[in-house]
Structure 1
Amino acid sequence: MHQGYFKGLENILKANLGYRGMENAFLEGELKKAARSLIAGDTIFIVTGFIVKDACIGETDGPIGAVSIAAALEQLGKRVVLISDKYSEDILAQCSLARGVSAAMEIMGSHMSTQLSQKLLKKYKPSHIIAVERPGRAADGKCYSMRGEDLSDMAPIADDLFEEAKKAGVITIGIGDGGNEIGMGKIRPYIVNSVDKGELICAAFASDFLIAAGVSNWGGHALSAALSLLSHKMLLHDINTEIAMLKSAVDAGAVDGCTKKRSLTVDGLSLEDNLDAFMTIKNIVAEALEEQYILMQL
């Protein structure tokens, strides 16, 4: 598939990164590398859910992107396990229902201990584990919001699962937009120097592949699009399903992570802005598949 289509996806992911000082944090080529690795995988863990402290509930960014990836992987015959916590459990379940995803779900308790992590890895034997907008443990052992709020007394820290997975040879992928999400340790020097409160909030764990995105849901959709390009089939849903997923998340209690309000917005961006990004991503895939079809007829 022509490299220009992957560049097009990367350009969408870079949009809005400057909002949090992440404009130069993007790692070229990681999207395609992550997708290519997943094509060869079998069982994939997807961990998501980011609690908004004042609202005591998960946000609208993360679960939608996670379910988008899960749906794409299921269409490719992969086994998917969705992992979250009590704050995002219903949000993730309702998004999955709206998209028609049948993946198993595991809900973390107060802490994802080393013992529990090893138990889950032994139970499912994943080839990959993906974090989509999941708070990551900082250098001081705590996890933080983008504002520097300490979330450690509420959000179960999932880093042990990723660390144990990495020890077991499981490939790790991180998707985030602010520097405080699991996987962002891969670009720690940049985050410390360029992101507000970067030294405090930067997640310590460095994933094998890191996909920075202006909005993490967009990163999830772009990874589904990259899987579509590599498999030569459309794996993304339609715009009505995208709207239904967001509505189901909000109906389940999700709030916008920036405004902290229950609304059909993500990271302070309107429904229209998010739909424009989604459709631009999907249209890149449609154009690529159409070009391939034309070439096959020649």
Structure 2
Amino acid sequence: MNYFKRLEEIISENLNSRGMDKAYLAGEIENAAKELIKSDTIIIVTGFVIKDTLTGETDGPLGAISVASALEKLGKSVVIITDIYSKSMLEAALKLVGLKAPLEIFIKGEEDILSQSILSTYKPDCLLAVERPGEASNGNIYSMRGECLSDIIPSMDCLFREAGRLGLTTIGIGDGGNEIGMGKIKQYVIENIPNGDIIAASFVTDYLIVAGVSNWGGHALASALSMFSQEDLLYNVETEIQALEAIVNAGAVDGLTKERTLTVDGISLENNIRIFEMIKSTIEESLALDKGAS
């Protein structure tokens, strides 16, 4: 059984809702996890603002925290970066899960200075973007609805561009075509996604995980790390629910409905938990098989 392929299949649910169902990239979860295993320090960026509420959405932070938790269990150093709109929810989630990762805040107008400072201070091996909006070809950042967000949020593309110049590994996780890393399938986004010609992100990460919900992509990556390390690194379902509650209490909204509910991209808590449990059971089955073989 190819458990990495199973993870890809699990997180492909919901891709058809945005026209992303044929944007299939085989092997990216496995290859991204291999790079993280080799890395000592990883920077994770996340946070997607909803313009009508000026708060971050529920998709992104949980996936970022999931990967960060798995990496810390492996003894890796992790740094999380977001903006003012998702600051309080990341603080709440970090505290709930008990992570050591410092939280850095990107500020609009200071992107270049912060990029240089952060890379110089932490000296990462790898950068991971989880549901972080990316610049389109015209330099602007857009929501999936085609709303320009550049007037209110800092761009983190400069951080990834500098990382690429330094030869660092970059990984992207997204679900709509407008996130950092989606430049890897830019033409597909332009041709198949509503508003794709406007919103398509340009930066090409070394590895790109396309998921029906970006949080699921983060959980799948944590699961792939589990398979390589022969240890279940994905936190339990109770923690997932508590983390979602924590970020909603801190102001997070559903990116589709724009409401403060325990939903992600319009998908119910029950369906999100169903996917989480499928990912979790894939780890357990893989580890049980390996134990039996030994």
TM class by shorter-chain length? over 0.9
Task: Write the distance in 1 (CA, Å) between the matches of 2:223 and 2:232.
Answer: 8
Task: Write the distance in 1 (CA, Å) between the matches of 2:275 and 2:136.
Answer: 30
Match of 1:67 among 65, 68, 72: 65
- Aligned 1:1-298 pairs, distance under 5 A: 4-296=2-294
Task: Write the distance in 2 (CA, Å) between the matches of 1:92 and 1:131.
Answer: 14
Per-residue deviation at 1:100?
1.6
What count of residue pairs does the alignment treat as equivalent?
294
Task: Write the distance in 2 (CA, Å) between the matches of 1:227 and 1:177.
Answer: 21
Per-residue deviation at 1:18?
0.7
TM-score by length of 1: 0.97
Task: Write the distance in 1 (CA, Å) between the matches of 2:25 and 2:175.
Answer: 13
Q: Deviations over 1:72-126 (max 9, x none)?
A: 0000110000000000011111111222211011001114532321111111100
Task: Write the distance in 1 (CA, Å) between the matches of 2:251 and 2:224.
Answer: 30
Q: Which one-letter code corresponds to 2:3 in the other structure? A: Y
Q: Deviations over 1:269-294 (max 9, x none)?
A: 00000000001000000011111112
Q: 1:10 to 1:112 in 2, by over 3 A?
A: farther
Taking only aligned residues, the RMSD between alpha carbons, in angstroms, comes to: 0.8
Q: Which one-letter code corresponds to 1:141 in the other structure? A: G
Task: Write the distance in 2 (CA, Å) between the matches of 1:198 and 1:256.
Answer: 22
Secondary structure of 1:246 counterpart:
helix
Q: Could you tell me whether the CA contact under 8 Å between 1:43 and 1:80 is conserved in 2?
A: yes
Q: Could you tell me whether the CA contact under 8 Å between 1:112 and 1:157 is conserved in 2?
A: no
Moved more, 173-182 or 7-16: 7-16
Task: Write the distance in 2 (CA, Å) between the matches of 1:177 and 1:242.
Answer: 20
Task: Write the distance in 2 (CA, Å) between the matches of 1:217 and 1:291.
Answer: 26
Q: Could you tell me whether the CA contact under 8 Å between 2:135 and 2:155 is conserved in 1?
A: yes
Task: Write the distance in 1 (CA, Å) between the matches of 2:88 and 2:274.
Answer: 26
Aligned-pair identity (%): 53
Task: Write the distance in 1 (CA, Å) between the matches of 2:114 and 2:7.
Answer: 36
Q: Deviations over 1:238-278 (max 9, x none)?
A: 11111000000100000000000000000000000000000
Per-residue deviation at 1:46?
0.1
Task: Write the distance in 2 (CA, Å) between the matches of 1:166 and 1:98.
Answer: 33
Structure 2 residues not aligned, in runs of 5+? none
Q: Which one-letter code corresponds to 1:183 in the other structure? A: G
Task: Write the distance in 2 (CA, Å) between the matches of 1:162 and 1:114.
Answer: 11
TM-score by length of 2: 0.99
After TM superposition, the runs of 4+ consecutive aligned structure 1 residues lying more than 4 A away are: none
